[in-house]
C-alpha cells in the first residue's frame, strides 16, 4: 500500500509533463538539527531541486519543468523517516529521475516519489526518506515480552503453592513468595510496556508533533 501524504500544497499551475518535486517544509523554511521545519536565516539560497537524469549517469536533456509540492510523506508501517546527507564523497550526489523517483548515486538505490521529500539542511539540499526498519529489532521486541508472559503462570503457580502448603509457609517460604510476587509484577509491567512501545510512540509523536 502506498503511503498517503500528510500535507500537500501545489505551487502554481502544474505544467504539462512537469516533474513534481516534494519540498518538506513551507516556503522560507528548511530542516533543523532535529529534522523539524525551521525558518531559514535571511539571505539563504533558494530551494533548488537536484539534477534530473534519464538513467544513472545520463542527464535529461532538455530538463523537464518542475512543479513544487509542499509536505512530508507519511511513512507506511515498518518504515521510519531518516535524513540522508549527500555532503560527503562517500555518500555521493543525489539525482531526480524523470518518473519522479530519487536516485542515490553511490548506492545505486532509488526511492519512489511517495516516500521522500527534499529541503535545505545545513546549507545543502538533502532528502528526507522513509527507510525500512530492520526486522531483527522488531522480532526481538516481540520475543522478549512473549517470553515474560509465558513465565507469568509459572510464577503465579509457585506463589500459590508456597501460600497453600502449610509446610512451606515458613520464613524461607515467605521469602520465596515475596521474590516470586515481585518478579510477577515486574515481568507483567515490562511485557505490557514493550508490547505497547510502538503504539505509545505513535501516540506521543502525534500528540507532540508540530505541523509542517
Q: Which three cell numbers stand for residue 82?
A: 531518516
Domain contains 4: no
From 132, 158, 184, give the residue that closes a domain. Answer: 132
Q: Are residues 122 and 167 in the same domain?
A: no
Residue given cell 508501517 in the structure block: 77
Given a cut of 70, is residue 4 above it in pLDDT? no
Assess if residue 2 is contained within a domain.
Answer: no
Answer for the pair 152, 97: CB distance below 8 angstroms, yes or no.
Answer: no
pLDDT for 197 equals 61
The share of the chain scoring above pLDDT 90, in percent, equals: 23
In angstroms, the CA 170 to CA 181 distance is 16
- The model carries a pTM of 0.53
The answer to whether the CB of 67 falls within 8 A of the CB of 10 is yes
Q: For residue 190, report the phi and psi dihedrals to the nearest 5 degrees.
A: -65, -40
Say which CATH number the domain at 61 has. Answer: 2.170.180.11
Greatest mean pLDDT among 39-48, 115-124, 152-161: 152-161
DSSP 20-47: EEEESS-TTEEE-TTS-EEEPPTTPPPP
pLDDT at 135: 55
* pLDDT for res 39: 92
Quick one: average pLDDT of 155-170?
91
Rounded to the nearest 5°, which phi and psi values hold at 171?
Answer: -60, -45
Compare 57 and 129 and report the one with higher pLDDT: 129
Q: Residue 152 belongs to what domain range? A: 135-208
State residue 34's pLDDT score. Answer: 81
Q: Is the model's pLDDT at 194 over the cut of 70?
A: yes
**Does 196 score more than 90 pLDDT?**
no
Q: Write the CA distances from 4 to 76, 99, 117, 161, integer angstroms.
A: 8, 18, 13, 55
Of the candidate ranges 69-73, 116-120, 134-138, 204-208, the one whose mean pLDDT is the lowest: 204-208
Q: Which ranges of the chain does DSSP label H, i.e. alpha helix? A: 135-164, 171-195, 197-208
Bridge-partner residues for 95, per DSSP? 103
Mean pLDDT score of the chain: 78
- Domain end, chosen from 132, 147, 180, is at 132
Per-residue cell: 21: 518535486
pLDDT digits (tens, 9 = 90+) for 85-113: 755 544 567 889 888 899 887 667 888 88
Count structural domains, the chain. Answer: 2
Question: Among 92, 114, 132, where does a domain finish?
Answer: 132
Cell numbers 505541523: residue: 211
Residue 7 pLDDT > 50: no
First CA to last CA distance, the chain: 23
Range from 74-83, 125-134, 191-200 carrying the lowest mean pLDDT:
191-200
Q: What is the DSSP string of 84-151?
A: PP--STTT--EEEETTS-EEETTTTEEE-GGGEEEEEETTEEEEEEEEEPPHHHHHHHHHHHHHHHHH
Question: pLDDT at position 185, please?
Answer: 94
| pLDDT beyond 90 at 177 | yes
- Residue scoring higher pLDDT (14 or 41): 41
Rounded percentage of the chain residues whose pLDDT exceeds 70: 75
Distance CA 84, CA 18 (A): 25
Amino acid at each position: 500500500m502506498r503511503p498517503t501524504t500528510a500535507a500537500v500544497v501545489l505551487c502554481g499551475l502544474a505544467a504539462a509533463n512537469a516533474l513534481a518535486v516534494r519540498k518538506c517544509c513551507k516556503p522560507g523554511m528548511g530542516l533543523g538539527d532535529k529534522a523539524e521545519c525551521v525558518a531559514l536565516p535571511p539571505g539563504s539560497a533558494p530551494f533548488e531541486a537536484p539534477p534530473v537524469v534519464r538513467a544513472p549517469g545520463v542527464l535529461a536533456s532538455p530538463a523537464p519543468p518542475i512543479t513544487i509540492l509542499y509536505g512530508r510523506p507519511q511513512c507506511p508501517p515498518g518504515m521510519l523517516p531518516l535524513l540522508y546527507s549527500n555532503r560527503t564523497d562517500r555518500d555521493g550526489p543525489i539525482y531526480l529521475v524523470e518518473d519522479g523517483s530519487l536516485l542515490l548515486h553511490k548506492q545505486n538505490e532509488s526511492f519512489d516519489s511517495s516516500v521522500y521529500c527534499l529541503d535545505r539542511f545545513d546549507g545543502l539540499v538533502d532528502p528526507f526518506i522513509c527507510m525500512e526498519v530492520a526486522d531483527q529489532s522488531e522480532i526481538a521486541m516481540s520475543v522478549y515480552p512473549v517470553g515474560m508472559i509465558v513465565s507469568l503462570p509459572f510464577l503465579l503457580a509457585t506463589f500459590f503453592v508456597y501460600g497453600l502448603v502449610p509446610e512451606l509457609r515458613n520464613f524461607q517460604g515467605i521469602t520465596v513468595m515475596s521474590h516470586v510476587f515481585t518478579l510477577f509484577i515486574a515481568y507483567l509491567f515490562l511485557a505490557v510496556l514493550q508490547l505497547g512501545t510502538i503504539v505509545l510512540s505513535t501516540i506521543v509523536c502525534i500528540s507532540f508533533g508540530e505541523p509542517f
